């Protein structure tokens, strides 16, 4: 949700040293992405629903053997990567291994490929790979955030979300990245597209009427129909493969739980009733089971639940958080875990070499996240950027400056043995490979990635 929505300066950083509100995000947060300094949540943090964790619900075991495979995202390895497992939780295999965050997996209709979101080359873009993690290729190439990819049932197009128009909107492209077409426009953010099995309709969540609700439109972006109308937030719709129902999550009982409704919005049924977080439903190919992410035991794991809500099974028992399950078509089980993918070299900070880089509002340092949201100290806001001899920087906000509808941070930077402060400009909305302005040096790329991941995802 997503989404994708990727790593959302005291006021830059005067506020970094100040106490800030709890950075815990609720799934009903609106808007989801910028042009403000709020970043898309690719891996949400469980809302502060209750003070203590809820034990895993005791339910009857599944009566049927789940079919196919489930792709999902996890930070078990320290970074966000895409994994795959059999639908019974066996043969867990890591598919991606790079310095960026890889999120929002979605299967092609024939199960041969997986589309996903990654910021391995800078801003979050749409990528595609084979189902075994081989042959990764980039489909979108822009400075904005692209997320929530969803493959059409005929395999010819991919719906996705992008904020290139300001707010999040739904776009369509061919599977090679060509033929981009915008489907939604207007007020609010639109996200989480889900195709009907006949390929004629797309369900999605939107804040166009202020509150997040579920809508559907035809494949050309016409014939908009609102499906839900509730004071609570409704989001992440998932159309069943048999075409009869739409699963979605809602906070209408005060907690994030799973619901079903007919495709016209009628006959809403609540499937789960837990005082915890249930998110991101994905149907089994036979429409009998639904995969969800849930934090029943404080950390988020993948579960599958029967479509009548009576049986449930936990699939993942890993270090870290598992999120965003995507159920494949009816593929055969993996007989053995796939080989660990070769690591892609870390994205390293480089020297800009441009004498104006960072020193003017027209050429700011593009960090793509707002450290003010994290409540960190000044020295912790940019651990990857250091003084000329590796000194830790003391960064203080002077003012926020508006240009072309976006806010930039004008900051004062000092470090040990420095006589005069240096004035730099930061763009917290857009993101690129880290660069050090003239007169500064690069710190550890690991620290850079850690800072971005914490703030952004």
Tell me if 289 is assigned to some domain: yes
- The Cα–Cα gap between 256 and 164 comes to 29
At 56-104, the pLDDT tens digits run: 555 666 777 899 999 999 999 888 999 999 999 999 999 999 877 899 9
The answer to whether residues 298 and 194 belong to one domain is yes
Give the chain's mean pLDDT: 82
Confidence of residue 276 (pLDDT cuts 50, 70, 90): confident
Tell me if 252 is assigned to some domain: yes
The answer to whether residues 312 and 249 belong to one domain is yes
At 9-54, the pLDDT tens digits run: 323 223 333 333 333 333 333 333 322 223 343 443 333 333 344 4
Residue 408 is predicted with a pLDDT of 87
Over pLDDT 70: what percentage of the chain?
78
The answer to whether residues 320 and 379 belong to one domain is no
The 93-94 sheet, strands edge to edge: 93-94, 81-86, 69-74, 322-327
The answer to whether residues 323 and 252 belong to one domain is yes
Tell me if 311 is assigned to some domain: yes
- The Cα–Cα gap between 161 and 144 comes to 10
The answer to whether residues 205 and 319 belong to one domain is yes
Residue 268 is predicted with a pLDDT of 97
The answer to whether residues 304 and 401 belong to one domain is no
Asked if 448 and 350 count as a contact pair (C-beta separation under 8 A), the reply is no
What number of residues does the chain have? Answer: 457
The answer to whether residues 363 and 294 belong to one domain is no
- The Cα–Cα gap between 439 and 326 comes to 47
Asked which of 275, 294, 327 is the last residue of a domain, the reply is: 327
Lowest mean pLDDT among 66-70, 174-178, 339-343: 339-343
C-alpha neighbours within 13 Å on the C-beta side of residue 247: 26
Q: Which residue in this structure is represented by tokens 């005929």?
A: 154
Tell me if 38 is assigned to some domain: no
Asked if 436 and 444 count as a contact pair (C-beta separation under 8 A), the reply is no
User: What is the average per-residue pLDDT within 310-325?
Assistant: 92
Q: Which domain holds residue 174?
A: 69-327
- The Cα–Cα gap between 311 and 92 comes to 22
Give the domain CATH number at 148. Answer: 2.120.10.30
The answer to whether residues 275 and 419 belong to one domain is no
Tell me if 33 is assigned to some domain: no
Task: Give the CA-trace dihedral at 109, 270, 258, 260, to 10 degrees.
Answer: 20
How many structural domains are present in the chain? Answer: 2
């Amino acid at each position: 949700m997503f989404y994708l929505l990727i790593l959302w300066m005291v006021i830059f950083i005067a506020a970094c040293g100040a106490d800030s509100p709890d950075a815990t995000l609720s799934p009903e947060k609106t808007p989801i992405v910028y042009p403000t300094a709020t970043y898309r949540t690719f891996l949400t943090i469980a809302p502060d629903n209750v003070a203590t964790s809820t034990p895993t619900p005791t339910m009857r075991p599944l009566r049927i053997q789940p079919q196919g495979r489930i792709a999902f995202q996890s930070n078990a390895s320290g970074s966000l990567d895409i994994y795959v497992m059999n639908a019974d939780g066996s043969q867990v295999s890591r598919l991606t291994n790079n310095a960026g965050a890889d999120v929002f997996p979605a299967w092609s209709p024939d199960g041969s490929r997986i589309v996903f979101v990654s910021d391995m080359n800078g801003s979050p873009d749409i990528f595609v790979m084979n189902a075994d993690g081989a042959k990764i290729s980039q489909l979108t190439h822009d400075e904005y955030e692209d997320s929530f990819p969803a493959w059409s049932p005929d395999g010819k197009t991919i719906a996705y979300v992008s904020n290139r128009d300001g707010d999040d909107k739904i776009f369509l492209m061919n599977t090679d990245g060509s033929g981009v077409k915008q489907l939604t426009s207007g007020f609010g953010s639109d996200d989480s597209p889900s195709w009907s099995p006949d390929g004629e309709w797309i369900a999605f969540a939107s804040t166009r009427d202020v509150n997040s609700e579920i809508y559907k439109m035809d494949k050309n972006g016409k014939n908009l129909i609102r499906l839900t109308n509730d004071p609570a937030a409704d989001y992440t719709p998932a159309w069943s493969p048999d075409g009869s129902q739409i699963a979605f999550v809602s906070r209408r009982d005060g907690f994030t739980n799973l619901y079903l409704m007919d495709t016209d919005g009628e006959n809403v049924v609540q499937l789960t009733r837990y005082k915890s977080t249930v998110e991101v439903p994905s149907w089994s190919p036979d429409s009998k089971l639904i995969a969800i992410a849930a934090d029943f035991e404080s950390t988020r794991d993948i579960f599958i639940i029967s479509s009548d809500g009576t049986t449930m099974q936990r699939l993942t028992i890993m270090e870290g958080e598992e999120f965003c399950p995507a159920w494949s078509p009816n593929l055969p089980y993996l007989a053995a875990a796939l080989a660990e993918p070769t690591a892609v070299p870390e994205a390293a900070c480089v020297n800009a070499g441009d004498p104006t880089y960072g020193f003017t509002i027209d050429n700011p340092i593009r960090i793509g996240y707002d450290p003010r949201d994290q409540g960190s100290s000044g020295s912790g806001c940019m651990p990857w950027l250091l003084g000329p001899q590796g000194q830790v920087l003391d960064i203080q906000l002077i003012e926020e400056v508006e240009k072309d509808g976006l806010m930039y941070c004008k900051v004062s930077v000092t470090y040990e043995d420095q006589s005069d402060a240096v004035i730099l400009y930061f763009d917290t909305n857009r993101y690129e490979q880290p660069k050090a302005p003239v007169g500064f040096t690069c710190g550890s790329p690991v620290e850079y990635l850690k800072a971005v991941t914490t703030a952004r995802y």
